[in-house]
Amino acid sequence: MKTIGFIGLGIMGKPMARNLLKAGYSLVVYDLIPGPMEELAKLGAARAESPQEVAQKTSYLITMLPNSPEVKQVILGPNGVIEGAAPGSTVIDMSSISPVASKEVGNALEGKGIKFLDAPVSGGEPGAINATLSIMVGGALAVFEDCRDLLSAMGKSVVRVGDVGSGNVTKLANQIIVALNIAAMSEALVLGTKAGVDPALIYNAIRGGLAGSNVLEAKAMRVMQGNFEPGFKIDLHVKDLNNAVEAARAVGAPLFLTGQVLEILKCLQVEGKGGKDHSAILQFYERLAAVEVRKTED
């Protein structure tokens, strides 16, 4: 079984690394925060002192980091992965970042003879814990096939969508659809509540038709209970939509609705709600309509 490097042991990275251990892989881990490394060390992982050391000790290395600057720093910066990885080794960045940054990182690694995949995920913390993530992969077909089993230990769906950068383009498409779905749900439930109809009855009436969606199933009942505890934080969705807008500008694609929802999310950040679940988009509409969307029927 391969020895895998894993850098970035946050909300998503730590359970993903744990699932690799459960699948029988040996791990070498690194994070700026010692606690998660200590937890994984108790499960059998080896700890490293830098990204460079992780790369020196492994031929397959995964990064799971907040955004493009962190990925570039960890992989290309001083004491970074590129300084320790041997030619022929493989780096898989599973962070959700700009496709432009993915291509920059991939090109730099390729120049050193190091293979690269960008493989962002969807499914949030529950998917990371339960190894049910959807993984969208960009990179050469041969590299993807070589890493398919490794990725399958962390997700239920592993799909190659094209060359390097395509994984993050696909993730941004996913995030656009999720954000716009939440905004549409919010507008609809606020309209219904303002008009005097129980939003729970609206939900039950429409969920089986064309308006039904995974977003509606995952979020409607939670918001009607006033539950905005984060499954995916507004701060993170702002990051993703900013990356979507950056990518759209680079290729000349219009994102009118995305831009509007991004501004709503930024307003919620200003109100101190960046740590709430992205379904708190509902609260933006509630405030404007002076109404609270709450379930009244059992």
Quote the mean pLDDT of the chain. Answer: 96
Closest CA to 27 of 64, 66, 65, 1: 1
CATH number of 3-164: 3.40.50.720
Domain definitions of the chain by residue range: 3-164, 169-289
**Bridge partners of residue 121, in order along the sequence:** 135
Q: What is the pLDDT of residue 124?
A: 86
Q: What is the pLDDT of residue 86?
A: 97
Q: Is 70 exceeded by the pLDDT of residue 12?
A: yes
276 has catalytic annotation: no
- Catalytic annotation, pick one of 14, 103, 115, 171: 171
Tokens 């954000």 belong to: 179
Average pLDDT over residues 76-99: 97
Helix (H, G, I), strand (E, B) or coil at 273: coil
Q: What is the pLDDT of residue 295?
A: 84
Angle made by CA atoms 284, 234, 266, in degrees to the nearest 5? 60
C-alpha pair distances (Å), 12 with each of 44, 82, 123, 135, 206 = 19, 23, 10, 13, 33
Angle made by CA atoms 139, 14, 262, in degrees to the nearest 5? 65
Tokens 């991939």 belong to: 106
Tokens of 205: 């009436």
Q: What is the pLDDT of residue 2?
A: 87
Burial of 208: CB neighbours in 10 Å, binned 0-12, 13-18, 19+: exposed
Q: What is the pTM of this model?
A: 0.92
C-alpha pair distances (Å), 57 with each of 27, 68, 112 = 10, 24, 17
Average pLDDT over residues 168-180: 97
Q: Is 60 exceeded by the pLDDT of residue 139?
A: yes
The predicted-structure confidence for 208-217, as pLDDT tens digits, reads as follows 999 999 999 9
Q: Is 90 exceeded by the pLDDT of residue 1?
A: no
Query: Which homologous superfamily does the CATH classification assign to the domain defined by 169-289?
Result: N-(1-d-carboxylethyl)-l-norvaline Dehydrogenase; domain 2 (1.10.1040.10)
Closest CA to 296 of 204, 199, 206: 199
Measured between alpha carbons, how far apart are the two ends of the chain, in Å?
A: 52
Q: What is the pLDDT of residue 21?
A: 98
Which helix (H) or strand (E) segment holds residue 234: the answer is helix 234-251
Tokens 């108790």 belong to: 42
Q: What is the pLDDT of residue 78?
A: 97
Q: What is the pLDDT of residue 231?
A: 83
Q: What is the pLDDT of residue 298?
A: 55
C-alpha pair distances (Å), 34 with each of 9, 40, 48 = 10, 10, 11
Closest CA to 238 of 204, 200, 270: 270
